[in-house]
Every structure is written in structure tokens, then in C-alpha cells.
Amino acid sequence: MKSNSVYTVEPLKLDRYSLNFYEALFHNANGYIGIRYDLEEGVPQEYNLIPSQYINGFYDTLEVKHPEYLHGFTQEKEIIVNIADNQGIKLYLGDEVFSMFKGTVLESRLSVDMGRGVTIREVKWQSEKGKIIRLKITRMASFYQLPLFTIDYEVEPVNFSGPVSFESTHNRQVCNYHNPDDPRTASEFLQLTTPLSCEVKEDGTSVEYRTKRSNLSVASCVSHSLFGKHEEEISAKDYQGSSLLKTEAKEGETIRLVKYAVYCDSLRYKNCRGQAEEEIKKAKSVTMDFLYERQENYLKEYWENCSVDIEGDDELDLAVKYNLYQLIQAVGKDRHSNISPKGLSGDGYEGHYFWDAEMYIQPFFTITNPAISKSLIAYRHTTLQMAKENAALVGHKKGALYPWRTITGRECSGYFPAGRAQYHINGAVAYSIINYYLATKDLEFVLEKGAEVLFETARLWLDTGNFHEGKFMLNTVTGPDEYTCLVNNNYYTNALAKYHLEWAVKLYKKLGVYDDFIKIKEKIALSEDEIEEFSRAAACMYLPYDEKLGINPQDDSFLQKKKWDIAKIPQEKFPLLLHYHPLHIYRHQICKQADTVLAHFILEDMQSEETMRNSFLYYEKITTHDSSLSKAIFSIMAARLNMEKKASAYFGESAKLDLLDLQGNTIDGVHIANMGGSFLTIVYGFAGFRLKEEGISFAPMLPKGWQGYRFEVCYEDSRIQVQVTEQECVFELEKGTPKRIRVYGRDYLLEDVLVIERNSSR
């Protein structure tokens, strides 16, 4: 990994918007816990900021109210819970308190170090009475010890000596962020937990509380280490913990306080309180240097598998690294969790998991860290029974229908036209399993966790669709484009269903060599006749095509609708879903995001080059990109179609979306799926990488202004580094056995290093 791995804001802005922005941009997470970046000393009350911290998969439930309730509507949804706030530390210099809003901030910067896995705030500050201090505050969510969050607080008195004290808080009184004007966040003020206990334990405090409806418990423990001679007073009152630590400062000598906070929940631990107490002991049994070393080692291995370097555009290079760092911070590390569109950086989408995980994020992990993809597939396997219940609820006699929005596996979407009707999520789950197999050839894991999911979801296509005039049709579904709902034969859905059914047949045959497969077939009553129906439906799948335009219509009725000139829509009316009634949007040829274009990316062999080009140009004119998922896909397809200028422009906006807050809602949490898309754009777009049954292939191009780029991919037992320069493409087998690869349509055996002249025309 290059040294360009630290993102810094300097100086800090202290307006409400900026502090909200920093909360998301500089949050700390490790896939289990996530802590938004709130200033330890606090902010003025009128800023109305809500310190927020989360556990992946830890939730409460809320009633979904329908004025007109019909059968099968979602009656209860899950929502991620804001857990105890352990960020508070007030610093007193004698009778003065440090605050960025008092005295004079002489210097300030906030950084995230993606090689070390920490955020660092550095401040030089002068009090109203003239005392000057330097602060360095390092925060870490540990990858080595997942329940652990630390604040390493260093104070250097520059021009004075005297008493210094720290007041550290352990606050259970927290609530979830809400915004009644945005359907992507909670619409009401929510405090979702009730206290069970709060105690002083040895050298810290322990708080346990429970969710109000889901009856899940969580315990948090806080303890401190203040180096040097000091006094400490610990108290617990009204279910709030507090520690007051006093010491004497000497001019020029650094005072160091380390705050340890751990979180353990009852989903994962039988005795979450006892486990939290053990986790605190574990953390304090080693030095912070040890914990930092383990953090750095974890990330070193991560970056060895997935680092992307762009030569010639340092700003873009840093943006991509920031995005890849957020992916490892966000992704769940066990079967109880997955990865939310906002990761663990905010309340956006209420912590729900979507199809984004399978289509934008999992492809990244599958070819860089396949063990994480296994964990994500295991989560879907764990929730399969709920997917079967969901299918039955909406009238299906067989099969499984994975939910549009969920935490535990239950459908949480209250608006079915743009939610539950998105049957393509079944195809996304299947696609992730197929991709995992293609990258690893790990049939044993597919047998263990993937097969049952693959066949139960494939069954649903047969029950959803029907044969008509020799074609297999899928009616009344919603594709990825949520501005076009409840349609017949959405191209993306039909194409993905075809691919899903074809692979269900292939894997049925491949898994037949395993004795344990007989048990799976018996368990789900899977027959040869059903497999033949899969094959027949796939072969007869209807894929809409318009001969006059030479494109794939998004669905049967899409081209019948009137057009809406995007250029004439006032900028303040975007995103459209917040300003226009759904029916008004649905009646127009206008797209929120890539739909058919996405299908052409992932399933390019189903259409000719000309059809994909015509479709791209057609949909480009009518797509608003109101979804963060859109521009990465347009960039990939522009690269695929040799539209280098467009590919670069779309990529630049996608890669920097959060760092520049291009959609104006990063405060709700960063856009994790888009971040996965930035990797896919470089690897699948510019480098032309493809992962198919016949093997892997590349067709690299070099965007204008770049001197070169390099990345790694994992394939089967090997890791391959790809480096693209103005003159050549270099493929290096970094580890593993030799591999056959295809470059610019020619086959090669990669045994060590392979150098190929770059083909500018692809």
C-alpha cells in the first residue's frame, strides 16, 4: 500500500453541518461496532447533535402503521439501536474547561489513517486565561478485539503547570437520529432501550440495558488508564457512569489517558454482561502499543489483498483508498450480521441490509477476501427460513423470497411497490453464491451453505412467472430502478432470473458427486422434474427487445410512457422521490439509477455489443442518478463500450461522492455500496476484468491523465497483481499455482510475471 493512506481535514470547521459531516466521515468501526465521530468534550446544546454508536445486527422492533391495511403488509419492522455513549471526556485545566467553542483554536486537524486503522484529532488551543495546550486524541475500533473501542487522549501543557482533571462519562440515555422529512431515516424520536443495571466494577463502570420490544440485551463496560500519579473517583447514578481523574501537569510533559469501552450483545453472548467485563480485562491486560500493532497487522493483510494504487491522480487515489477502508470497517464478521448501505456510520436506512451487499460489495470481497464473502453467504443461509416464510406470506406455495429491507431476515419495507416487489434480490443472493464458486471453486462450501439457498430462491421464479406463447414471463415486479414500479418483464429481473436458473441446473449436476447432496435434496424435496423446469424456464425466458431502437426496454410498458426532460427539472427538486408523488414519477420514462445498464454489466453475454451501446446511450439521457448506486455502473459500462471520457467522469463523481458530499446526505452515513462500486469500476471497468465459468480475463484501458494503476485479485488459490501503464500491462503471480488468463482475447499461462503490450483500442 502506498503512503498516500491518510485523509485529513484541516482546519476543522465548527458549524453544525460540518460537525455532522465529520461524524460520518471519520467514524470508527470494525464490522461489529461502529462509533460516529463526536467531539469528546461535546458541542453547544443548540447544535442538537446525537452521539451515536451501533452494534451490527443489534436491533429493536417498531410497529408499522398502515391507515389502509391489506393482507401481507409489513406490520413490524426492525431498526438498528443507538447504544450507550462512551465518547464523553471533558478536560479541565484548573478552573477552565477545554472547548473548541471557547478560547482560541490555534491549530486543528482531523485525520483517518487507513494503514493504522485509527482516527486522530490534533488541536493547539489557548484558553481565555492564556493557557496553551496541544491535544492528540487517537480513536480505534479494534479489528483484533471486536467489542473494543479506545480513546487515547494525550495532553501537553505548553506554557503552564498545575492541576488537570478529566471527567469521563458512560451515558446510557441515548436516542436514534430521526428526520421526518426523509424516508431513508427514522421519522420519529426514538429511545429504544430501558436500563437493567449500572454498577461500579473494580476500576470502571458497567451498564446493562435491554431493547423495549425485541428483548435483546447489551452490556457496556468502561475503564481508564491514566499514566503517572493520579486520583480517580468512580460513580454510577441514574444508570449513568462517571469517572473523575485528577493529576498534576508539568509544562512540556505529556499527560496520557486511555479510555477503554466495550460492547457485548445477547445475540452473540449468553451472558453479555459477564462477557463485557471479561473483554475489559482482556483489553487492559496488554499495552496500547500491542493493540495498535494488532490493528496495523490486520490491515496490512487486508491491503495486501485489495490495495488499489492510481498513479498520476493523488486525490482520486486517496478517495479510492478511503472507500476501500470503509468497506472493511462496515462489513459484518459473523453470521448474525451483513453489511448495510450506511455500514456502521449512521442511522440511514435504519441499519437494514439490502441487495446492495450482494451486487456491489460482495464482488469486491469475493476476489480480495473470499473468507468474508463466505460469512455474508452464511448470513443469508441463516435467514433462509424467514425468506421462505416471506414467500408464503405473499402467496407463493414453494421457495424463498429474500426481503428488500431487513436485519434478522424479516421484511421491513412498508411500501411494497418499491420494496417487497423487488424480487431481483433473489437473483442477487444467487449471483453472490455463483460468483463465490467461480472465484474459489469451493464446491464444499456451496454444498454446505449455498445450495439450499440457491435452489429455494430459484423455485420462486417458477411460482412467480408463467409461460405465455412459448415465453417465460415475470409479471408485476420492480427492478433496481425504483422510479418504475410493479411492471411486467423488467429486463434486469428476467435476465438475472435466467442466469440464476441456468446455474441452479449446473450446480445441481456438479453437486451430485457429493453424498451429502442427497440429504439436501431430500430436505427440500428437490426433484429431477423441477430441475428440468428450471432449465426450460431459463431457455424460454423473455428478454424485452425493441427492434426500432435496438435496445432492451426496461420493461414491457416503459417505452409507452411519456418522457420527462431532466434538464428542465429544478435542481432543488432532486432527488425526485422527496418532491414528487410516486405515481407521477412512475408514469414517465425516467430512471433513478442504472437498471438495464446494470444487467448489461453483470450479464454482458446475453446481448450484442450494439444492443448494449444503444441501451447505454438511451438510458443515459433519462437517468437522474438519484441513487448513489448508479454512476459507478454507468462508468463500468462506459469503459466496457470504450467511452473513456464518460467512464472517467462518472468514476470521479462516484469515487469522491462522500468526501465531497455530492448527494448532500453523507451526514446520515457514508454510501458503502457506492464505495464497493469504485473498486468494481477500476477492476471490472478500466481493467476489463471478468470472472466467468471459462476463467478470468482482462482488457485494460488507461484513463486520460493517469500514468498507471495497479490492483490485486484473488482467484482460486492464487493472488495476482495487475499493473497497467501507458505502454504495457504487467501480470504478476504473487502467490499460488500458475493460472491461465485471457488478455485482450488471447490466452496466456501466468507462471511468474507476464508482460503484454497495452492495447489502446481494447
Residues forming the active site:
482
Which backbone phi and psi does 418 adopt, to 5 degrees? Answer: -100, 10
8 A C-beta contact, residue 109 and residue 122: yes
Query: Hey, what's the cell of 671?
Result: 454510501
Chain centroid to CA 58:
16
Give the DSSP per-residue string, 646-660: HHHHHHHHHHTTTTT
Give the DSSP per-residue string, 141-195: E-SSSTTEEEEEEEEEESS--EEEEEEEEEE----B---TT-TTS-SS-B--EEE
| H-run or E-run covering 455 | helix 451-464
For 541, which DSSP code?
Answer: B
Question: How many other C-beta atoms are found inside a 10 Å radius of the C-beta of residue 622?
Answer: 17
Say which residues have a Cβ less than 8 Å from residue 660's Cβ, sequence separation at least 6. none
Return the half-sphere exposure (C-beta side, CA atoms, 13 A cut-off) of residue 102: 15
Query: Hey, what's the cell of 19?
Result: 460537525
CA angle (63, 67, 68) in 5-degree steps: 110
Q: Is 164 exposed, middle or buried (0-12, 13-18, 19+ CB in 10 A)?
A: buried
Question: How many other C-beta atoms are found inside a 10 Å radius of the C-beta of residue 515?
Answer: 6
8 A C-beta contact, residue 615 and residue 600: yes
Taking the C-alpha atoms of 286, 288, 289 and 295 in order, what is their torsion angle to the nearest 10 degrees? Answer: 100
Of the candidates 684, 682, 655, the residue with the CA atom closest to the CA atom of residue 671: 655
Query: Hey, what's the cell of 433?
Result: 453464491
Say which residues have a Cβ less than 8 Å from residue 454's Cβ, sequence separation at least 6. 430, 433, 434, 446, 500, 503, 504, 507
- Max Cα-Cα span within the chain: 89
Residue 11, preceding peptide bond in cis (omega within 30° of 0): yes
For the chain, state the CA radius of gyration.
27
Say which residues have a Cβ less than 8 Å from residue 245's Cβ, sequence separation at least 6. 165, 166, 168, 224, 226, 230, 231, 232, 257
Query: Hey, what's the cell of 423?
Result: 424480487
- Grid cell 420494496 in the structure block, residue: 419
- Tell me how far CA of residue 199 lies from CA of 44, 210, 226, in angstroms: 29, 16, 21
8 A C-beta contact, residue 526 and residue 462: no
CA angle (746, 750, 755) in 5-degree steps: 70
Question: How many other C-beta atoms are found inside a 10 Å radius of the C-beta of residue 648?
Answer: 22
Q: Is the dihedral of CA 96, 97, 98, 102 positive or negative?
A: negative
- Tell me how far CA of residue 126 lies from CA of 4, 245, 392, 567, in angstroms: 32, 22, 65, 51
Of the candidates 600, 679, 673, 681, the residue with the CA atom closest to the CA atom of residue 359: 673
3-state SS assignment for residue 599: helix
Angle (deg, nearest 10), helices 288-306 and 314-330: 110
